[in-house]
Structure 1
Amino acid sequence: MRFYAERPARVVLQLLADLLAVGWLVVCVLAAQAARELILGLQGPAQTMVDAGGTIRGAFDEAARTAQQVPFVGDDLARGLSGGTGAGDALATAGREQLETVATVALGTAVGIVVLGALPVLFVWLPLRLRYARAARSAVAVRSVDSDLLALRAMTRLPVRRLLKVSPDPAAAWRRDDRAVVHGLAALELRSLGLKTPKTPPD
């Protein structure tokens, strides 16, 4: 694969496009991290519930232990206070479930932002870069040995207005093997890819 051209102007444009693509991905990742942190900030009330549940459970456990020391009715008092312990556990459990829900939403949001942000890179930038790399590799492989193939590629790939600058009838000239036109079309194809033309065109 040849990912970059040989002509400086084209290389600068390619590097700029690559940097923009990478920069866009970095921005998406940073945005995803910021969104995740923002959503995780909503865990505050849930954490308060967990702490409150633990505090309530601890208070009722302590009260139950103290009540057990009361003569005759201590066990009954302790059993009555056990309901408060259960309430503390329920409150803490509800808080932990909310914490897990918020964490899941935060992670899903972050992943969604990264995936959606990466779509333009994956479906626009990357295919264009791979298509260029394949075309440039093929052109470099044949430019010193086969002008005809490059000329044919130029006629099938480039706009007609550019072909007409080489010859009023480039297809007819190519069919009758007009070497000047063939070399001109081949050079046009190479320039369109940002590649240098050979000093001595192949016959």
Structure 2
Amino acid sequence: MKLYADLPLRRARQVVGDVLVLVWVWVWIQVAGSVRDATLELAGPGRRIDASATDLAGRLRDAGDTVSGLPLVGDEVRSPFDGAGGAAEGIAGAGRDQVAAVESLAHWLGITVAVVPILLVLLLWLPGRVRFVRRATAGQRFLDARADLDLFALRAMAHQPLHVLARVDDDPAGAWRRGDADVVDRLARLELRSVGLKPPVGGARGGRVDA
């Protein structure tokens, strides 16, 4: 798999682009973590409510247990304490629900903050990189197999703009059919450069890639 171009300037741009994308991803992951942590701080009051209400419920129940031992009126005196303890438990439950809601919000907010900008950049950057890797890898495979450069010349005539082909020859197709080595060489170099590959030494002369 060929990840980067042979041509120095294009390779440098690709490396810089890849590094910038990685930095962009890292930055937004850090931002998402900060947003999540800041949102989780909103759960503080809920935790305090839960702790205080749970403690109050425990004390009220302990008090109810204590007064329940009083002769004759113990059960009647205990009842209000039990009721107040149940109410305090309800308040504690509300605090726990608030904490759970804040934690869920923090989780999804952090994911959203990170995913949206990262996906936007990947949608712009990734297709071009994948396209380059596929084309460059396929082209390099032909070069490594010492394939005729006629193939690259033919692809150049199919892919290159007409004004670019006109600078090579007034009739590039005719020159290609005649086997004009110089024209075939120049056409092949156009296609190779377009996919980021370095033209082989010796070009198309002789019909094969030099070792």
TM-score by length of 2: 0.87
Q: 1:119-176 deviations in whole A, cap 9, x for unaligned?
A: 1343222221111111111222224422221112223333333333222343443344
Instruction: Quote the Cα distance in structure 2 between the aligned partners of 1:196 and 1:138.
Output: 14
AA aligned to 1:78 is R
How far is 1:108 from its partner? 0.9
Matched, 1:177 2:179: yes
Indicate how the Cα distance of structure 1 residues 192 and 24 shifts in structure 2: closer, same or farther if over 3 A, else same: same
Matched, 1:190 2:192: yes
- Flag as ranges the 4+ runs of structure 1 deviating above 6 A: none
Instruction: Quote the Cα distance in structure 2 between the aligned partners of 1:153 and 1:121.
Output: 31
Instruction: Quote the Cα distance in structure 1 between the aligned partners of 2:184 and 2:168.
Output: 9
How far is 1:185 from its partner? 0.9
User: Could you tell me which residue of structure 2 aligns to residue 118 of structure 1?
Assistant: 118
Instruction: Quote the Cα distance in structure 1 between the aligned partners of 2:199 and 2:22.
Output: 31
Aligned sequence identity (%): 37
How far is 1:77 from its partner? 0.8
Instruction: Quote the Cα distance in structure 1 between the aligned partners of 2:158 and 2:32.
Output: 44
Instruction: Quote the Cα distance in structure 1 between the aligned partners of 2:191 and 2:30.
Output: 41
Instruction: Quote the Cα distance in structure 1 between the aligned partners of 2:95 and 2:59.
Output: 18
User: Could you tell me which residue of structure 1 aligns to residue 54 of structure 2?
Assistant: 54
How far is 1:31 from its partner? 1.4
Indicate how the Cα distance of structure 1 residues 127 and 148 shifts in structure 2: closer, same or farther if over 3 A, else same: same
Indicate how the Cα distance of structure 1 residues 34 and 169 shifts in structure 2: closer, same or farther if over 3 A, else same: farther
Instruction: Quote the Cα distance in structure 2 between the aligned partners of 1:200 and 1:182.
Output: 12
Secondary structure at 1:9 match in 2:
helix
1:47–1:96 contact (8 Å) kept in structure 2: yes
Instruction: Quote the Cα distance in structure 2 between the aligned partners of 1:113 and 1:197.
Output: 45
1:64–1:82 contact (8 Å) kept in structure 2: yes
Alignment length (residue pairs): 203
Instruction: Quote the Cα distance in structure 2 between the aligned partners of 1:112 and 1:127.
Output: 22
Instruction: Quote the Cα distance in structure 2 between the aligned partners of 1:157 and 1:107.
Output: 48
AA aligned to 1:54 is T
Instruction: Quote the Cα distance in structure 2 between the aligned partners of 1:138 and 1:36.
Output: 44
- Stretch of structure 1 that moved more, 140-149 or 128-137: 140-149
Secondary structure at 1:4 match in 2:
coil
How far is 1:118 from its partner? 2.6
Matched, 1:139 2:139: yes
Structure 1: which 5+ runs fail to align?
A: none
How far is 1:75 from its partner? 1.7
Secondary structure at 1:201 match in 2:
coil
AA aligned to 1:6 is D
AA aligned to 2:164 is R
